[in-house]
Amino acid sequence: MNLHEYQARDILRRHGIPVPPGEVATSADQARAIAARLSGGGAVVVKAQVHAGGRGKAGGVKLARDAAEAAAHAAKILGMTIKGLVVQRVLVAPAAEIAAESYVGMVVDRASQRPTLMVSAAGGVDIEEVAAQTPEQIHRLAVDPRYGVLPHQALGLARKLYQDMTRARAAAEIMQRLYGAFYAVGASLAEINPLATTRDGALAALDAKIVIDDNELDRHPELAALRDTSAEAPSEVAAREAGLTFIKLDGSVGCCVNGAGLAMATMDLVKYYGGEPANFLDIGGSSDPQKVVSALRIITADPSVRAILFNIFGGITRGDDVANGIVQATGQLPLKVPLVIRLTGTNEELAIEILTKAGFSALTDMDEAVKQAVAKARAA
Ligand code: GDP
Ligand code: MN
């Protein structure tokens, strides 16, 4: 689950990381009032609150000299679309005077199977390019979760970022606290970019991004309460409510599969035959026609879907239930794109009978079905 910057800032602040004050506005007038209250007449920064990085480059982060200009920026940024997400809130904070920008991030690294601290003196909006072009400028530490980030480890990393010893000590403290926050909320990612050196030489976390592992939400109701469904893709909200595992992707072949492993294999095969999957969707192992109806509704709502592929391997899932779901769903929402069904396993004969009666044909071969779906998506 993604958090907004203002929510992530609160968490970091509670863990003792220096984060400038800031408040959220939903209107230009509110932004003006917050700016006047927090800035003491000085400059402020107005920042789009959306679940996307690169807001600065997209025009979603703007400096204002005074409260009036803050209101004008807020009026522009509110309602703006950044990476497909409409900005509904802005964060208004006193502007820091930046002398340098570092990057400090904690991620779960699958390769080392460890939480990993990554830091760079070349922080700021171009960190992706730094990582791609000069990876030697990024320093890493695989953290042993039994001990956390130890003081000498943090200081070792911090000294690669800062010559000044006082600043290096402060940065080391921040790195240890960032790990503490990451661990406490069950994050899969927690990053500060930029960790700014201000004109007076102090360090300040000017941007915060935290992604909470969804599996943590049951034991952290206070974090689950931070979910902002209005800022999430409507399809992902609908899928979660229907009990489906769904991830929206950029391609044109809508996939409806039972089981996460088969769903991934299906996506691989779609790619192999030159197509692009429009989504990952796992209807799960249960036999519930209603889930199929929900799945089809979510897939057909995506305008980039040009063909839909059902790939069902009946084990616990019964083929006839899925077939009934398909018939029911297509009765409720007439399909505008071609449908390719591959179905095999439990109650296969019955399923094919149900589908044939309703005017659909079903394949049993996965290769053939994927080839057809890719061809149909391309022809559309
Ligand atoms: P992102 O583009 O989504 O990562 O948004 P950030 O919050 O990181 O802001 C992008 C850039 O705006 C930063 O790297 C800074 O250079 C700049 N910026 C953000 N906050 C301030 C601030 O308080 N003062 C100044 N001078 N620049 C800021
Ligand atoms: Mn940033």
- With respect to residue 205, please indicate whether it lies within any of the assigned structural domains: yes
- With respect to residue 8, please indicate whether it lies within any of the assigned structural domains: no
Q: For residue 62, how far is its CA from the centre of ligand 2 (angstroms)?
A: 13
Closest C-alpha residue for ligand 1 atom 3: 55
Per-residue pLDDT at 289 exceeds 90 = no
pLDDT band at 82 (very low <50, low <70, confident <90, very high): very high
Residue where the block lists tokens 């609160």: 10
Contact by Cβ (8 Å): 283, 258 = yes
pLDDT band at 292 (very low <50, low <70, confident <90, very high): confident
220 lies in the same domain as 291? no
142 lies in the same domain as 199? yes
241 lies in the same domain as 353? yes
For residue 52, the ligand 1 atom closest to its alpha carbon is: 3
- With respect to residue 317, please indicate whether it lies within any of the assigned structural domains: yes
The whole-number pLDDT of residue 332 equals 86
Q: For residue 54, how far is its CA from the centre of ligand 2 (angstroms)?
A: 7
Separation between Cα atoms, residue 157 and residue 118, nearest integer Å = 9
The whole-number pLDDT of residue 303 equals 92
- With respect to residue 87, please indicate whether it lies within any of the assigned structural domains: yes
76 lies in the same domain as 61? yes
Q: For residue 192, how far is its CA from the centre of ligand 2 (angstroms)?
A: 7
- With respect to residue 1, please indicate whether it lies within any of the assigned structural domains: no
Closest C-alpha residue for ligand 1 atom 23: 95
Q: Return the CATH number at 338.
A: 3.40.50.261
Q: For residue 207, how far is its CA from the centre of ligand 1 (angstroms)?
A: 7
How many other CB atoms sit within 10 Å of the CB of residue 319? 25
106 lies in the same domain as 208? yes
Look over the chain and give the mean of its residue pLDDT values, rounded to a whole number.
95
Quick: pLDDT tens for 171-203.
999 999 999 999 999 999 999 999 999 999 999
Mean pLDDT confidence for 261-282:
96
Mean pLDDT confidence for 350-370:
95
Ligand approaching nearest to the C-alpha of 5: 1
Per-residue pLDDT at 291 exceeds 90 = no
For residue 95, the ligand 1 atom closest to its alpha carbon is: 23
303 lies in the same domain as 375? yes
Q: For residue 47, how far is its CA from the centre of ligand 1 (angstroms)?
A: 8
Q: For residue 123, how far is its CA from the centre of ligand 2 (angstroms)?
A: 9
The whole-number pLDDT of residue 184 equals 96
- With respect to residue 138, please indicate whether it lies within any of the assigned structural domains: yes
Q: Return the CATH number at 220.
A: 3.30.470.20
Ligand approaching nearest to the C-alpha of 85: 1
pLDDT above 70 coverage of the chain, percent: 99
Ligand 1 pocket at CB < 6 A: 45, 47, 53-56, 61, 63, 95-96, 98, 101, 124-125, 193-194, 206-207
- With respect to residue 318, please indicate whether it lies within any of the assigned structural domains: yes
Quick: pLDDT tens for 95-130.
999 999 999 999 999 899 999 999 999 999 999 999
Per-residue pLDDT at 271 exceeds 70 = yes
Separation between Cα atoms, residue 252 and residue 69, nearest integer Å = 43
Separation between Cα atoms, residue 148 and residue 64, nearest integer Å = 40
Domain that holds residue 49: 21-94
Quick: pLDDT tens for 317-353.
899 999 999 999 898 888 899 999 999 999 999 999 9
The whole-number pLDDT of residue 218 equals 92
180 lies in the same domain as 242? no
- With respect to residue 12, please indicate whether it lies within any of the assigned structural domains: no
63 lies in the same domain as 102? no
- The residues annotated with a catalytic role in the active site are 103, 191
Say whether pTM exceeds 0.85. no
30 lies in the same domain as 149? no
58 lies in the same domain as 192? no
Number of domains in the chain: 3
Question: Among 177, 193, 224, where does a domain finish?
Answer: 224
How many other CB atoms sit within 10 Å of the CB of residue 188? 17
Q: What is the 3-state secondary structure (H, E, C) of the chain?
A: CECCHHHHHHHHHHCCCCCCCCEEECCHHHHHHHHHHHHCCCCEEEEECCCCCCCCCCCCEEEECCHHHHHHHHHHHCCCEECCEECCCEEEEECCCEEEEEEEEEEEECCCCEEEEEEECCCCCCHHHHHHHCHHHEEEEECCCCCCCCHHHHHHHHHHHCCCHHHHHHHHHHHHHHHHHHHHHCEEEEEEEEEEEECCCCEEECCEEEEECHHHHHHCHHHHCCCCHHHCCHHHHHHHHCCCEEEECCCCEEEEECCHHHHHHHHHHHHHCCCCECEEEECCCCCCHHHHHHHHHHHHCCCCCCEEEEEEEECCCCHHHHHHHHHHHHHHCCCCCCEEEEEEECCHHHHHHHHHHCCCCEECCHHHHHHHHHHHHHHC
Ligand approaching nearest to the C-alpha of 58: 1
260-272 helix and 366-379 helix, angle to the nearest 10 degrees: 60
Closest C-alpha residue for ligand 1 atom 2: 56
Closest C-alpha residue for ligand 1 atom 12: 56
DSSP β-ladder status, 339-345 and 362-363: parallel
Mean pLDDT confidence for 225-250:
89
For residue 53, the ligand 1 atom closest to its alpha carbon is: 3
Per-residue pLDDT at 49 exceeds 70 = yes
Q: Return the CATH number at 48.
A: 3.30.1490.20
Separation between Cα atoms, residue 380 and residue 376, nearest integer Å = 6
82 lies in the same domain as 103? no
Say how many Å lie between the first and final Cα of the chain, rounded: 34
Q: What contacts 91, CB < 8 A, 6 or more positions away?
A: 5, 6, 9, 22, 23, 24, 25, 46, 47, 49
61 lies in the same domain as 140? no
Question: Among 206, 224, 242, where does a domain finish?
Answer: 224
Per-residue pLDDT at 288 exceeds 80 = no
Pocket test for ligand 1, best of 4, 206, 209, 210 (most atoms within 8 A of CB): 206
Ligand approaching nearest to the C-alpha of 61: 1
DSSP β-ladder status, 203-205 and 245-248: unpaired
Range in 183-192, 289-298, 364-373 the model is least confident about: 289-298
Question: Among 198, 224, 250, where does a domain finish?
Answer: 224
Per-residue pLDDT at 286 exceeds 70 = no
